[in-house]
Amino acid sequence: MFKLIKKDRDTQARLGKITTAHGEVDTPNFMPVGTAGTVKTLTPDEVRSAGTQIVLSNAYHLFLRPGAEIIKQAGGLHSFMNWNGPILTDSGGFQVFSLAQLCKIKDDGVEFQSHIDGSSFFFTPESIIEFQQILGSDIMMVLDECIPYPAQHDYVKRSVKLTTNWAKRSRLVPIKGCQQLFGIVQGGMYLDLRKEAAEQLVEIGFDGYALGGLSVGEPRELMYEIVEFTIPMLPQEKLHYLMGVGTVIDILESVERGVDIFDCVVPTRNGRNGVAFTATGKMQIRNARYKNENTPIDEGCACSCCREYTRSYIHHLFKVNEILGLRLLSLHNITFYAKLMQNIRQAIKEDRFLEFKKEFLKNYNI
C-alpha cells in the first residue's frame, strides 16, 4: 500500500510511504539491484547498513537459477537471501528479450532459450505471477514486452496491445497474502501510445504503476518528456516507478516530475569498475592522482569505506586487483544513493526541492 504524504510546493515531487509485509519504504527511494538474489559483492547486513530500505531481484534469473523448488524449500526469497526488508521483483521481460538466445513472442506469452545452456522455456503472464508468488516478493511486476529504441509506430502500437492484454491476464491471477502487483506503461517514444497504455492500465487497476522502456538509448531530454507527459495520467494516490533509471541527474529530474522509486545497476556497477560517487561528482579511483591521497573517498560520507580507508589504499586495491576494493566502493556508492534520497525527501518535506536540486548540481560535476 502507498500513502501520499505531501507534494512539494513548486514541483511534482512527492513524499510518500510504501507499506509492505516486510516493512515500510520512504519515498522517493532508490532500489539497489540484486538480480540473482544478491547485491553484488555485498552482504545483506552491509546493504542494510548503507541505508537501503528495499532491493530489487529478477524473476528471469531466479527462475533459471536456482529455480522455484529450491527457493520454495528455503521458505521464499527473503529467507533464501537473508534479507528481511521489502523486495520488488521484475518479471524478467527485459531479460527475456535482451539475454535469451532465441525469443519468440506469442499471444499466450513468450518462448525463449536460456542464455545459460540453451534450455527452452515458455513464460506466460500467469506463470510469471505464480513464480513471483513462490518468491514471496512484496511487489511483483507484470510481464511486458520490452520495446527497443528506435522502433516504428506500428510495431509499438501492436506491442502496447499485447502488453495490455498480458496485464489484464496478470491481474486475474489470485494473489495470496499482502503481495502487490504493478502494471507497466510501455509505448516507446510515442506520446499517443503512452497515453493509450496508461489509460488502459489504469482502467484495469493496479497497486502501483511503472514506466518501462526508458533509458534504452534515447536522448535524455526525450526521456524527461515522456516522464513528464505520462506521470499525470497515473492515479496520484498510487506509487510511480521509473524502471532501470539511476544516474544522479536522471533521479533529480524525474523526482521533480513525480516519480517515487527507481532502480539501476549504476552505483554497484560503477563501484566494481573503480568509480565512486561523491558530493562533487564521480571519481575514478584508479587515476594516479589518488595514489598518495590519505583522505576519505568523500569527506561527508559516514560509510565504513570512508570512515576506515583512504583513497590511497583503495587506489592500491584496484591496482592489484583485490576484491576488497570492489566491495568498498560498492558499499560507498549505495550509501551515497541512500543519503541522496534521504536528502531529497527532506527537501520535499520542507518545500525546497528546487533549491536543493540547484545547490546539489552546482557542486556536482556531471
Active-site residue set: 90, 263
Q: Distance between CA 163 and CA 142 in Å, rounded? A: 9
What are the cell numbers at 323?
A: 576484491
151, 124 in Cβ contact below 8 A? Answer: no
Preceding omega of 32 cis (within 30 degrees of 0) = no
CA angle 252/255/260 to nearest 5° reads: 135
Q: Which three cell numbers stand for residue 123?
A: 513464460
Q: Which H/E stretch holds residue 284?
A: strand 281-284
Whats the size of the chain, residue-wise? 366
d(CA 207, CA 183): 8
36: closest CA among 2, 70, 75, 73? Answer: 70
118, 41, 255, 227: CA torsion to nearest 10: -10
Measured in degrees and rounded to the nearest 5, phi and psi for residue 302 equal -105, 10
Give me the DSSP letters along 131-190.
HHHHHT-SEEE---PPPPSS--HHHHHHHHHHHHHHHHHHHTS---TT-EEEEEE--TT-
Which cell numbers in the block locate residue 141? Answer: 511486476
364 three-state secondary structure: coil
